[in-house]
Copies of this chain bind each other. A is one copy, B any other.
Amino acid sequence: MPTNQQIVLESRPTGEANTSNFKLVEVATPELQDGHVLVRHHFLSLDPYMRGRMNESKSYAQPQPLGEVMIGGTVGEVIESRHPKFKAGDQVVGMGGWQNYSVVDGNQFGALRKVDTTHVPLSHYLGAVGMPGVTAWYGLCKIIEPKAGQTVTVSAASGAVGSAYGALAKARGCRVVGIAGGADKCAYVVNELGFDDCIDYKQHKDALSLAKALKVACPNGIDGHFENVGGMVLDAVMLRTNAFARIAVCGMIAGYDGAPLPMANPALILVNRLKVQGFIVSEHMEVWPEALTELGTLVATGKLRPRESVAQGLAAAPEAFLGLLKGKNFGKQLVKLV
């Protein structure tokens, strides 16, 4: 069996996370038991939710245990199988974690899923045709439920969730406006992802200034918003919401480090009769087949061409992850392991 490299959580961050919170270790890969499958990971997915798991505090999920392999989505290839449903060479997606190999119980429901890479590149099963894509789908289709002609917005528009959201919203006849950090990301959001407009939040010092830019980009107001960030962006969007607008809350990345970020003017929830709803896509597995079918078609037909930021080798994962938390990535952040 091959020697495995893993990255474990060495310590919990106090305030901002840093590389000393992680540790690279080498371990032997165990012999396969009946029903188990050995997978070699080709790509590891890095996602903002992992920062939440590093904390001890109450969240919607168990904290990541200290000394154990960091949680994470992976795509790869079956090397050896003692399960009848899988054979060597199968391409699979799973939650293999921050390591080069994983041993998976093939009988555990949903732990490993075979994927077809004829029309969709393997790595996209961690992004547009994976958890981030389904996240965008759920927020848009199940919480925002936009009608054709309505205006919908999304923060972190150039990321894995935002790019899928844009394609899904255009397919429903919406005006879709992104919010992203930097002129290059905004140009990509409009020119490559097909958004109608994109606002660079870094050009705005406060929510009022950003709200003015949103007024120009969304002349008919905002009917739906997908929040990946929180803080100033959410405050600005709320100022431009129409009556009965819906806000899907998926991420509050800006609040992970340190004190919670307040919402400046919650009275707008009443004034504009908003629905503000949080969700976690893994609690809605019933929508995954429908969502993945639509997302796969969008990618296969070229209507969704998501960009990827790829770090090389497992040892690069901590730096890449910390960069993701600061918005240094451009599109879906991956680590290439093969």
Chain A residues in contact with chain B, CB under 8 A? 58-60, 230, 234, 243, 249-252, 255, 260-267, 269-280, 283
Contact check, A272 vs B266: say whether CB atoms are below 8 A apart: no
Stoichiometry, as copies per complex, reads 2
Contact check, A277 vs B278: say whether CB atoms are below 8 A apart: no
Report the minimum CB–CB distance from A115 to chain B (whole Å): 28
A262-B265, A263-B263 known; A60-B272 Cβ under 8 A: yes
Closest to A267 in B: B252
Contact check, B230 vs A271: say whether CB atoms are below 8 A apart: no
Contact check, A274 vs B278: say whether CB atoms are below 8 A apart: yes
Chain B residues near A265: list those with CB within 8 A: 260, 262
Report the minimum CB–CB distance from A33 to chain B (whole Å): 35
Closest to A262 in B: B262
Residue pairs across A and B with Cβ atoms less than 8 A apart, 17 shown, are: A60-B272, A230-B267, A249-B269, A252-B267, A260-B264, A262-B262, A262-B263, A262-B265, A263-B266, A272-B278, A273-B277, A273-B280, A274-B276, A275-B275, A275-B278, A276-B276, A276-B277
Contact check, A267 vs B260: say whether CB atoms are below 8 A apart: yes
Chain B residues near A262: list those with CB within 8 A: 262-266
Contact check, B267 vs A273: say whether CB atoms are below 8 A apart: no
Closest to A239 in B: B58
Report the minimum CB–CB distance from A148 to chain B (whole Å): 23
How many angstroms from the CA of A253 to the CA of B264 in the assembled complex? 16
Report the minimum CB–CB distance from A244 to chain B (whole Å): 9
Contact check, B277 vs A60: say whether CB atoms are below 8 A apart: no
Contact check, A278 vs B271: say whether CB atoms are below 8 A apart: yes
Chain B residues near A59: list those with CB within 8 A: 271
Chain B residues near A58: list those with CB within 8 A: 271
Closest 7 CB pairs of A and B: A262-B262, A270-B278, A263-B263, A260-B265, A263-B266, A252-B267, A269-B278
Report the minimum CB–CB distance from A132 to chain B (whole Å): 16
